[in-house]
Structure 1
Amino acid sequence: MASPKRLQGLTAATITPMTPDGEINLSVIGQYVDYLVKEQGVKNVFVNGTTGEGLALSTQERKQLAEEWVTKGKNKLDHVIIHVGALSLPEAKELAKHAAAIGASGIAGIAPFFFKPTNKDTLVAFLREVASEAPGIPFYYYHIPPLTGVKIRVEELLDGIKEQIPTFQGVKFSDTDLLDFAQCVKNHKEQFVLLYGVDEHLLSALAMGASGAVGSTYNYLGKKNNLMLEAFAKQDLTLAQQYQFCTGEFLSFVFKLGFGVAQTKAVMTFTSGIPMGPPRLPLLSASVDFIEKAKAKMASLIL
Structure 2
Amino acid sequence: MASLKRLQGLTAATITPMTPDGEINLSVIGQYVDYLVKEQGVKNVFVNGTTGEGLALSTQERKQLAEEWVTKGKNKLDHVIIHVGALSLPEAKELAKHAAAIGASGIAGIAPFFFKPTNKDTLVAFLREVASEAPGIPFYYYHIPPLTGVKIRVEELLDGIKEQIPTFQGVKFSDTDLLDFAQCVKNHKEQFVLLYGVDEHLLSALAMGASGAVGSTYNYLGKKNNLMLEAFAKQDLALAQQYQVLVLHRLKQS
Same fold (TM over 0.5): yes
Deviations 1:130-162 (A, max 9, x none): 000000000000000000000000000000000
Secondary structure, aligned partner of 2:107: strand
For residues 188 and 119 of structure 1, what CA distance do their matches in structure 2 show?
20
Distance 1:216 1:302, change over 3 A: closer
Q: Give the direction of change, closer, same or farther, for the CA distance of 1:124–1:20 in structure 2 (3 Å limit).
A: same
Give the 3 Å change call, closer, same or farther, for CA 232–50 of structure 1 in structure 2: same
Matched, 1:40 2:40: yes
Give 1:2 deviation, angstroms: 2.0
The 3 A distance-change label for structure 1 pair 215 and 183 is same
Relative to structure 1, the CA distance from residue 171 to residue 25 in structure 2 (aligned partners, 3 Å threshold; closer, same or farther) is same
Structure 1 residues 220-271: Cα deviation after superposition (integer angstroms, max 9, x where no partner):
000000000000000000000000xxxxxxxxxxxxxxxxxxxxxxxxxxxx
Post-superposition Cα deviations, 1:203-225, rounded to whole Å, max 9, x if no partner, equal 00000000000000000000000
Contact 2:221–2:247 under 8 Å retained in 1: no
- CA distance in 2 between counterparts of 1:3 and 1:189 reads 19
- Match of 1:20, SS state, is coil
Change (3 A) 1:179 1:61: same
> Partner of 1:26 in structure 2?
26
| Local SS of the residue matching 1:179 | helix
Report the Cα distance in structure 2 between the residues aligned to 1:193 and 1:121, rounded to whole angstroms: 21
Deviation per residue, 1:161-199 (Å, 9 max, x gap): 000000000000000000000000000000000000000
Q: CA deviation at 1:87?
A: 1.6
Distance 1:171 1:110 in 2: 10
State TM-score, norm by structure 2: 0.96
Deviations 1:71-106 (A, max 9, x none): 000000000000000120000000000000000000
Question: How many residues are treated as equivalent by the alignment?
Answer: 247
Cα separation, 2, equivalents of 1:39 and 1:5: 22
Aligned equivalents of 1:119 and 1:20: distance in 2?
A: 43
Alpha-carbon distance change, 220 to 121 in structure 1, aligned in 2, over 3 angstroms: same
> Which whole-Å CA distance do the structure 1 matches of 2:94 and 2:192 have between them?
25
Paired residue secondary structure (2:12)? strand
* Distance in 1 between residues matched to 2:87 and 2:220, nearest whole Å: 30
Distance (Å, rounded) in 2 between the aligned partners of 1:87 and 1:61: 16
- Deviation of residue 301 (structure 1)? 6.4
Instruction: Name stretches of at least 5 consecutive residues in structure 2 with no aligned partner.
Output: 249-254
Q: Distance in 2 between matches of 1:195 and 1:53?
A: 20
Q: Deviating runs (4+, > 3 A) in structure 1?
A: 300-303
Counterpart CA distance in 2 for 1:143 and 1:181 is: 11
Assess, with a 3 A threshold, how the Cα gap between structure 1 residues 64 and 234 changes in structure 2: closer, same or farther.
Answer: same
Segments of structure 1 that go 5 or more residues without pairing to the other structure are: 244-299
Q: TM-score, normalised by structure 1?
A: 0.80
Q: In 2 relative to 1, CA 182–19 (structure 1 residues): closer, same or farther, beyond 3 Å? A: same
Residue 302 to residue 97, structure 1, CA distance change in 2 (3 Å):
closer
Alpha-carbon separation, structure 1, partners of 2:158 and 2:177: 16
Deviation at 1:55, TM superposition (A): 0.5
Q: Counterparts of 2:83 and 2:150 in 1: how far apart (Å)?
A: 17
Q: Percent identity of the aligned residues?
A: 98
Query: Is contact 2:225-2:247 (8 Å) kept?
Result: no
Q: Does the Cα contact within 8 Å between 2:224 and 2:247 map onto a contact in 1?
A: no
1:302 is paired with a residue of what secondary structure? helix
Q: Secondary structure at the match of 1:301?
A: helix
SS in 1 for 2:247: coil
2-structure distance, mates of 1:146, 1:193: 21
